Amino acid sequence: MGTRTGTTRGGLSPAKYLTEQQQKRLIAYVKAQADIARHTNRRRAIIDEMLVMLFLNTGLRANELCKLKLSDLPVTHGKNVVFVRAGKRKVIRIVEISDRFCKKLGRFIELYRKKAKPADYLFINERGKQLQYVSVYSKVTRIGSRAGIAHLHPHVLRHTYLTRLYNVGHDLRFVQDQAGHKSPVTTAIYAQTDQAARRKQVNALDNVNLLAE
């Protein structure tokens, strides 16, 4: 029998998600740039910061993020969730978000989208039109390069969120719901990625003396 190619056993390859150190580096970079922008009355870096934070706190796909409207967000409906109406296979789903991130998102809208109506998109370009996938992809790639993280793109941030979420509660069904996966088989890869229990087991091998003294 021939062997299948392109399948990884044991979780995601290291290039497909960020380590904790890389996450901290990325967040520190976008925050520093946004802080400068806040003092110079510029918006681009502040929008870039929210883009990154949305990916890291929701695991949305890039095209889902582009199509978010204010009516999908807590600022309009009052619940700590994001409604994803443009999901894969046209399936609508609800993504839970933390209280802290909900407040951060609300402040962003209050300051930078305060004139927007519920039917308006959250992210718009300089012409006031819906932000496109190509623009989001290039933004994230550029941010990654400047933060010293090679090959960063939106799906890496999605993988990072889903891996982190699984490692917090080991609740594969919840991860599946948040991700919008049709099959639990698709979600199972996050149960095999960067898991603390796996690290504990392999590190325990250091205490096993394989050689006779």
Q: pLDDT digit string (tens) for 113-153? A: 989 999 999 999 989 899 999 999 999 999 999 999 999 99
Q: Can you give the pTM of this predicted structure?
A: 0.88
pLDDT of residue 204: 83
CB atoms within 10 A of CB 153: 15
List, in sequence order, every residue forming a beta bridge with 81; answer none if it has no partner. Answer: 96
pLDDT of residue 18: 96
Q: Which two tokens stand for residue 130?
A: 């819906």
Question: What's the whole-number average pLDDT of the chain?
Answer: 90
Q: Nearest to residue 73, comparing CAs of 84, 64, 86?
A: 84
**CATH homologous superfamily for the domain 15-201:** Intergrase catalytic core (1.10.443.10)
User: Which residues are part of the catalytic machinery?
Assistant: 61, 88, 155, 158, 181, 190
> Which of the pair, 207 or 168, is modelled with greater confidence?
168
Supply the DSSP symbol for 109.
H
CA distance linking residue 14 with residue 70, whole number of Å: 35
pLDDT in tens, 149-194: 999 999 999 999 999 999 999 999 999 999 999 999 999 999 888 6
Q: Nearest to residue 16, comparing CAs of 139, 156, 116, 111?
A: 156
List, in sequence order, every residue forming a beta bridge with 83; answer none if it has no partner. Answer: 94
> Which of the pair, 87 or 165, is modelled with greater confidence?
165
Domain ranges within the chain, ordered by starting residue = 15-201
CA distance linking residue 66 with residue 132, whole number of Å: 6
Furthest-apart CA pair in the chain: how many Å? 74
* pLDDT confidence band for 211 (50 / 70 / 90): low
pLDDT of residue 4: 42
CA distance linking residue 176 with residue 173, whole number of Å: 5
| Helix H or strand E encompassing 95 | strand 93-96
The string over 4-30, giving b where at least 16 C-beta atoms fall within 10 Å of a residue's C-beta and e elsewhere, is: eeeeeeebbeeebbbeeebbeebeebb
